[in-house]
Amino acid sequence: MNIHDWYEVRVDGEKVATFGPIRDEAWIQAMNLIDTTRYDLYKGKVLSIVEVVKVQTRNEKGEMSFCRDGLRETVKHEEHPTVIELMDWQDYGKALGKTL
């Protein structure tokens, strides 16, 4: 089976998983991976889902190539860590002026 489009889950710009072809099921799997790892394994990191599609390119003469040898990447979802996510609960309590 030749897959021409897929989702990549990236952590701080580095690919950690792929799901394809692009369908609702692949999107759900990619989001589930982010949801289950955002607060432990990938805590404090930028998580993104990138849609990657093989596209037709131009040859050196500017003519359309017969191959799908190029890749078009589009960021579809991105999550950045927040200050509260990076703090532990004791530090959060101190920031609020309370003991937790």
Length of the chain: 100
Residue-wise pLDDT tens digits, 28-58 = 999 999 999 988 899 889 999 999 999 988 8
Domain residue extents for the chain: 5-96
Distance CA 93, CA 63 (A): 63
H helices of the chain, in order, are 24-37, 83-86, 89-96
Largest CA distance in the chain: 69
Block residue for tokens 């889950």: 9
Report pLDDT for 59.
Answer: 78
Q: Indicate the pTM of the whole model.
A: 0.76
Proportion of the chain above pLDDT 70, given as a percent: 80
